[in-house]
């Protein structure tokens, strides 16, 4: 395996057009011919230097190099005779390269994937099956520090910086943060000329943790030291002085008794420093959001300027949306302050702008629809609904008898998915997901959802307006709000994605059914036969691909075909919570296609077509940034030419089959796809007998699917609640 990994990393280096990479290729050749510790160290150095050569949007490539060099270092301990001191140095090299990868992924907004590399930075032997042991981690650091490994102190504090940053985003147990900082604090210089940039950065990130613990005894001491350090860096390293002023302008400075507006102004006026767009926006908001009354136009211009800068810097849609998710605290701050000052119309406009503004183009909220902005976490014990109808806004605030924490706990008991780690949870690792949700026991989850969201209340308000409804959740939680509201109304309901929804729906004339390429979904064939029969009976042309006939190339060919009005998958899919861009749709027996690859094949159509992903997790989106849920099959593949139907959890194969058949029936007789989906959901929620009567009208009375219905309680939310429309 050792020579094989070296050949693999050599191939990676050979793909980089850089003198560094050329030297790395030579090093690989020498290492294969004559393994030595010095050559291993040299290859490690080349791997580190590659981070300055390869652009971050090729992070998958960097991950491959990091994984390979880590494996090479680990195996070299067995292949090459090494002393204890040399082993320690090799382990610290592994820790450092994984820490570099973790920091790069954090910069991209891939917090889950960053967390995995961060754990390897703490423990190079970590495989994800256990928690990091605090004693083992610091024990390794002590040995490396005593041994005098080059730059070990700075390597550790850089790693801690990213850990503190991730912990704030991921909601992990903060006690571990305090323990690690307390351990390293004797080795950190602060408030004097000896302080290194990495040490100051680490303390600034720890300030973000301390902001949530105003009674922590070290808070005041650290604040004073940071102010002393600011005076030093103002002349020595102005960029670092801005970083300090930024920290003092945040919640950390506020709980420490600092004038955060003063520090925001200081940060913006340090000579010879050019602020990044997100820095500039954050600091400007510090001032603007303290004005009374709010200067709404100035706030809007601040956010719009940031979004325009982001679009100019990053044209790739997935990477751009990752940044919007990572920096969602900007819009969340605006929403929070505007809410408490009663600027409800402004909230709707700003949320809409954050979701839709691209390359300087501002879209208008459609007049023919209702935009329902949902804010689930702005007030404890309440969900805030803002109903926008043709320029007028009505606020509906529900009084919940269930807390957000209790709702997440109920969700976890239903499907075991890791949504957030609650404050009271002592573990640093997410719980293992259930293999399948507890479909038949989903009544408790449904009851919890109703107690939290009060869908009947908002449905009553929407019925009064009687327009199609599009949901915009400011904090996406992968929960079936649309389905719950739909049960109470006959309106068309969709999750809001695309602002240009004026493109007309295509009449369904040509359909592609993509069925069970892995040949392990028995019920998918029942769905395929039923859907094909229903469509064919109405004169619709249906192409069916199943089993070995399914290939990635053929799927993409059909996906790009502008003449197809409906693509319908009955296959496996998986949402990658750590890296949503790598979520997979399994379109063949051997291979899946990533979200990114599908996104590159956008069809060119005049009318909107429908993509039905009757596949597990095909409607899920990332939710680790308190953001709007911008990345996933549903939100990413929905655009001005295509609407998407997908699922919010791992679906039961037979339940998905029944839903698919009902959807095909209602697509042929409904005014919109939203109406069709809502009617299919309602039918399932009414139970087996009701659905059997519907199917007998459209299928043979003795069809297997009708008989099998007797064995499934499809009226449970676990079966009908997972599906959502994105458009």
Among 82, 99, 116, residue at a domain's last position: 82
- 121 lies in some domain: no
Q: How confident is the model at residue 156 (pLDDT cuts 50, 70, 90)?
A: very high
Computed over every residue of the chain, the mean pLDDT equals 92
Q: Is the pTM of this model over 0.85?
A: yes
Q: Is residue 438 part of a domain?
A: yes
Residue 86 pLDDT > 80:
yes
Residue 192 inside a domain? The answer is no
Query: Which of 59, 82, 105 is where one domain is finished?
Result: 82
Tally of domains within the chain: 3
Give per-residue burial for 89-100: e unless 16+ CB within 10 Å, then b.
bbbbbbbbbbbb
Closest CA to 646 of 574, 706, 704, 705: 574
pLDDT of residue 386: 98
The separation between the first and the last C-alpha atoms of the chain, rounded to the nearest angstrom, is: 48
Band of the pLDDT at 503, cuts 50, 70, 90? low
Contacts of 359 (CB under 8 A, 6+ apart): 308, 311, 312
Same-domain status, 448 and 584: no
pLDDT (0 to 100) of residue 602: 85
Residue 420 domain-assigned (yes or no): yes
**Residues 421, 477: one domain?**
yes
Residues 473 and 515 in one domain: no
Bridge partners (DSSP) of residue 584 are 574, 594
pLDDT of residue 57: 87
Q: Do 697 and 564 reside in the same domain of the chain?
A: yes
Domain span holding position 40: 1-82
Q: Between the CA of residue 179 and those of 41, 211, 527, what are the distances in Å?
A: 31, 16, 55
Least confident of 415-419, 512-516, 660-664: 415-419
Same domain, 567 and 659: yes
Does 423 have pLDDT greater than 90? no
Under 8 Å between Cβ of 487 and 685: yes
d(CA 289, CA 298): 10
From 438, 464, 491, the end of a domain falls on: 491
Eight-class DSSP state of 291 = -
Same domain, 413 and 521: no
Does 586 fall in a domain? Answer: yes
- Residue 277: inside a domain, yes or no? no
C-alpha separations of 326 from 109, 384, 423 in Å: 5, 23, 21
Q: How far is CA 116 from the centre of its chain?
A: 15
pLDDT at 1 over 70: no
Q: What is the CATH number of the domain that holds 412?
A: 3.30.420
Three-state SS letters, 414-447: HHCCCCCCCCCCCCCCCCCCCCCCCCCCCHHHHH
Q: Identify the CATH number of the domain in which residue 611 sits.
A: 3.40.50
What's the pLDDT tens digit per position in 559-610? Answer: 999 999 999 999 999 999 889 999 999 999 988 999 999 999 988 888 899 9
pLDDT of res. 129: 59
User: What pLDDT, on the 0 to 100 scale, is given for residue 425?
Assistant: 38
In this structure, the answer to whether residues 365 and 474 fall within a common structural domain is yes
Q: Are residues 485 and 516 in the same domain?
A: no
178 falls within a domain: no
Q: Look at residue 421 in the predicted model and tell me its pLDDT.
A: 44
Same domain, yes or no: 335 and 464: yes
Among 402, 408, 446, 452, residue whose Cα is nearest residue 430: 408
Lateral strand order in the sheet of 573-574: 573-574, 584-585, 593-594
pLDDT at 60: 94
Residue 537, in any domain of the structure = yes
DSSP collapsed to 3 states, 694-713: HHHHHCCCCCHHHHHHHHCC
What is the distance between the alpha carbons of residues 472 and 265, in angstroms, rounded to a whole number? 34
Q: Pull the structure tokens for residue 659.
A: 């839903």
Question: Tens digit of pLDDT for each residue in 428-439?
Answer: 444 444 457 888
Q: Are residues 549 and 418 in the same domain?
A: no
Confidence of residue 417 (pLDDT cuts 50, 70, 90): low
Residue 717 has a pLDDT of 96
Strand order in the sheet with 469-473: 392-399, 382-389, 370-379, 469-473, 493-495, 723-726, 642-647, 609-613, 566-570, 510-515, 541-546
Please list the residues that pair with 585 across neighbouring strands. 573, 593
Could you read off the pLDDT of 101-126 as tens digits, one per residue? 999 999 999 998 999 999 999 988 88
**Distance, CA of 449 to CA of 547 (rounded, Å):** 38
Higher pLDDT, 128 or 574: 574
- Same domain assignment for residues 343 and 388: yes
- CA distance linking residue 159 with residue 140, whole number of Å: 14
CA angle 371, 376, 380 (to 5 degrees): 145
Q: Are residues 409 and 481 in the same domain?
A: yes
């Amino acid at each position: 395996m050792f020579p094989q990994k070296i050949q693999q990393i050599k191939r990676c280096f050979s793909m980089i057009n850089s003198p560094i990479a050329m030297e790395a290729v030579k090093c690989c050749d020498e290492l294969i011919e004559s393994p030595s510790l010095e050559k291993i160290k040299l290859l490690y150095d080349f791997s580190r230097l590659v981070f300055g050569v390869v652009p971050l949007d090729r992070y998958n490539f960097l991950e491959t190099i990091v994984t390979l060099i880590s494996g090479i270092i680990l195996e070299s301990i067995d292949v090459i005779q090494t002393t204890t001191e040399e082993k320690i140095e090799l382990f610290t090299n592994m820790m450092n390269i994984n820490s570099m990868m973790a920091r790069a992924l954090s910069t991209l907004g891939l917090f889950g994937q960053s967390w995995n590399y961060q754990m390897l930075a703490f423990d190079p032997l970590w495989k994800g099956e256990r928690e990091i042991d605090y004693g083992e981690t610091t024990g390794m650091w002590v040995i490396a520090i005593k041994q005098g490994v080059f730059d070990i102190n700075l390597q550790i504090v850089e790693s801690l910086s990213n850990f503190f940053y991730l912990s704030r985003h991921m909601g992990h147990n903060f006690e571990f943060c305090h323990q690690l900082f307390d351990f390293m604090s004797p080795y950190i210089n602060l408030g004097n000329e000896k302080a290194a940039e990495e040490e100051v950065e680490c303390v600034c990130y720890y300030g973000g943790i301390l902001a949530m613990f105003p009674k922590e005894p070290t808070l005041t001491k650290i604040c004073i030291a940071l102010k002393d350090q600011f005076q030093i860096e103002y002349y020595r390293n102005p960029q670092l002085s801005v970083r300090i002023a930024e920290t003092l302008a945040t919640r950390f400075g506020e709980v420490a008794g600092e004038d955060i507006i003063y520090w925001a102004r200081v940060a913006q006026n340090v000579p010879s420093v050019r602020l990044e767009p997100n820095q500039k926006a954050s600091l400007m908001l510090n001032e603007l959001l303290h004005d009374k009354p709010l200067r709404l136009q100035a706030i809007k211009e601040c956010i719009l300027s940031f979004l325009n800068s982001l679009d100019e810097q990053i044209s790739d849609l997935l990477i751009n949306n990752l940044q919007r998710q990572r920096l969602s605290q900007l819009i969340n701050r605006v929403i929070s302050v505007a809410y408490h000052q009663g600027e409800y119309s402004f909230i709707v406009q700003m949320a809409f702008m954050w979701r839709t503004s691209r390359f300087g183009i501002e879209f208008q909220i459609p007049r023919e629809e209702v935009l329902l902005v949902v804010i689930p976490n702005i007030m404890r014990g309440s969900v805030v609904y803002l109903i926008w109808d043709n320029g007028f806004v009505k606020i509906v605030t529900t009084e919940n008898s269930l807390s957000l924490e209790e709702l997440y706990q109920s969700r976890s008991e239903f499907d075991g998915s890791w949504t957030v780690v609650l404050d009271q949870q002592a573990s640093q690792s997410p719980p293992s997901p259930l293999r399948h949700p507890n479909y038949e026991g989903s009544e408790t989850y449904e009851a919890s959802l109703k107690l939290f969201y009060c869908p009947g209340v908002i449905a009553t308000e929407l019925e009064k307006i009687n327009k199609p409804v599009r949901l915009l959740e400011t904090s996406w939680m992968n929960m079936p709000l649309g389905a719950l509201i739909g049960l109470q109304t006959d309106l068309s309901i969709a999750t809001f994605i695309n602002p240009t929804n004026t493109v007309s729906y295509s009449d369904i004339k040509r359909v592609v059914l993509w069925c069970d390429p892995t040949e392990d979904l028995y019920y998918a064939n029942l769905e395929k036969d039923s859907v094909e029969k229903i469509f064919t009976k109405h004169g619709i042309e249906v192409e069916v691909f199943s089993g070995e006939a399914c290939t990635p190339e053929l799927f993409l060919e059909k996906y790009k075909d502008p003449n197809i009005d409906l693509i319908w998958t009955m296959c496996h899919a998986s949402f990658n919570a750590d890296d949503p861009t790598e979520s997979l749709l399994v379109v063949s027996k051997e291979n899946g296609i990533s979200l990114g690859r599908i996104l590159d094949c956008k069809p060119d159509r005049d009318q909107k077509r429908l993509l039905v992903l009757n596949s597990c997790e095909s409607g899920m989106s990332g939710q680790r940034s308190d953001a709007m849920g911008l990345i996933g099959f549903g939100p990413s593949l929905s655009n001005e030419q295509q609407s998407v139907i997908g699922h919010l959890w791992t679906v039961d194969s037979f339940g998905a089959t029944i839903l698919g058949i009902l959807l095909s029936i209602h697509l042929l007789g409904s005014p919109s796809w939203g109406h069709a989906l809502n009617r299919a959901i309602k039918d399932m929620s009414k139970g087996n007998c009701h659905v059997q009567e519907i199917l007998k009208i459209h299928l043979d009375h003795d069809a297997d699917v009708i008989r099998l219905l007797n064995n499934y309680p499809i009226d449970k939310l676990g079966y009908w609640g997972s599906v959502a429309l994105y458009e």
